[in-house]
């Protein structure tokens, strides 16, 4: 179990390209990360975020505990991680279990796909992300591992524009419908194909 303290900023495509160029020039070649995130989000439970993540072929069940709004204020959340086997059918079945646990009128089941560039610098990390599915979106996370550091100050230091997401249910519902794929729009066969692409 770890604590994370971060800030998330939404970028335009041109801002994303400018930040990528600036960070490569100043921090060097980044690591790359391809990720699939299978989420079942209950918007009435803002302090719990549970998802299956496949990152560069590695599979984990992740639960973040702490108000989601913390990522706009640089406050910390706790993250619990369980390593899973690389079996597409088991991953699909576990995702169905998560969905069954979240039977509510205020739930979205979301299939999120990302390609990210990562720079780890001593006690902080910058993740610049292109998100895709139905359309393209761009963002940047600045995460610190030292309480004396401020994610906002580091964003300013690295010339990363700060456009905090609006922390409302409507904002994220619209974001998911426009950018991501909702699980109910996919057959099991479709979802298995997507899962296998990331294993």
Domain holding 88: CATH number? 2.40.320.10
Instruction: Indicate the pTM of the whole model.
Output: 0.85
pLDDT of amino acid 42: 85
Is residue 132 a contact partner of residue 151, using CB atoms and an 8 Å limit?
no
**Chain-centre distance for alpha carbon 159:** 21
**How many folded domains does the chain comprise?**
1
119: containing domain? 2-198
Burial label, 34 (beta-carbon count in 10 A; 0-12, 13-18, 19+): middle
Average of per-residue pLDDT values in the chain: 90
How is residue 83 written in tokens? 């390593």
Q: What is the pLDDT of residues 6-48, one digit of tens each?
A: 889 999 999 999 999 999 999 999 999 999 999 998 888 877 8
pLDDT score at 49: 83
User: What is the four-CA torsion angle of 68, 71, 73, 79, rounded to 10 degrees?
Assistant: 80
75 pLDDT band, cuts 50/70/90, is: low
At 111, give phi and psi (nearest 5°).
-105, 110
Q: What secondary structure letter does DSSP report for 44? A: T
Residue 72 CB neighbour total at 10 angstroms: 19
- Given pLDDT bands bounded at 50, 70 and 90, which one contains residue 65? confident
| Maximum alpha-carbon separation in the chain | 48
DSSP symbol at 30: P
- The pLDDT of residue 3 is above 60: no
Q: Please give the span between the terminal C-alpha atoms of the chain, in angstroms, as a whole number.
A: 24
* Ordered DSSP codes for 149-174: --HHHHHHHTT----PPP-SHHHHHH
Residue 101 dihedral angles phi and psi, to the nearest 5°: -75, -15
| pLDDT tens by residue, 152-197 | 999 999 999 999 887 677 888 888 889 999 999 999 999 999 999 9
Q: Long-range contact list for 187-191, CB < 8 A, 24+ apart?
A: 188/92, 191/92, 191/95, 191/111
Q: Are strands 107-121 and 124-132 parallel, antiparallel or unpaired?
A: antiparallel
State the pLDDT confidence band at 102, using cuts at 50, 70 and 90.
confident
CA 55/CA 76 separation, integer angstroms: 22
Q: Which residues pair with 115 in a beta bridge?
A: 34, 130
User: What is the predicted pLDDT for the residue at 29?
Assistant: 96
């Amino acid at each position: 179990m770890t604590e994370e303290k971060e800030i998330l900023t939404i970028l335009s495509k041109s801002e994303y390209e400018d930040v990528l160029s600036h960070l490569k020039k100043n921090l060097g070649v980044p690591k790359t990360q391809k990720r699939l995130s299978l989420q079942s989000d209950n918007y009435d439970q803002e302090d719990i975020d549970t998802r299956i993540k496949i990152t560069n072929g590695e599979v984990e069940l992740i639960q973040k505990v702490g108000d989601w709004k913390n990522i706009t204020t640089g406050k910390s959340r706790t993250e619990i991680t369980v390593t899973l086997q690389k079996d597409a059918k088991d991953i699909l079945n576990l995702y169905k279990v998560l969905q069954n646990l979240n039977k509510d009128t205020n739930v979205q089941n979301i299939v999120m796909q990302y390609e990210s560039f990562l720079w780890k610098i001593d006690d902080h990390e910058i993740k610049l992300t292109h998100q895709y599915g139905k359309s393209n979106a761009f963002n940047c996370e600045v995460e610190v591992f030292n309480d004396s550091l401020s994610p906002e100050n580091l964003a300013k230091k690295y010339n990363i524009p700060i456009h905090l997401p609006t922390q409302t249910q409507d904002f994220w519902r619209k974001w998911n419908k426009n950018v991501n794929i909702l699980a109910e729009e996919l057959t099991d066969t479709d979802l298995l194909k997507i899962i296998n692409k990331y294993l």
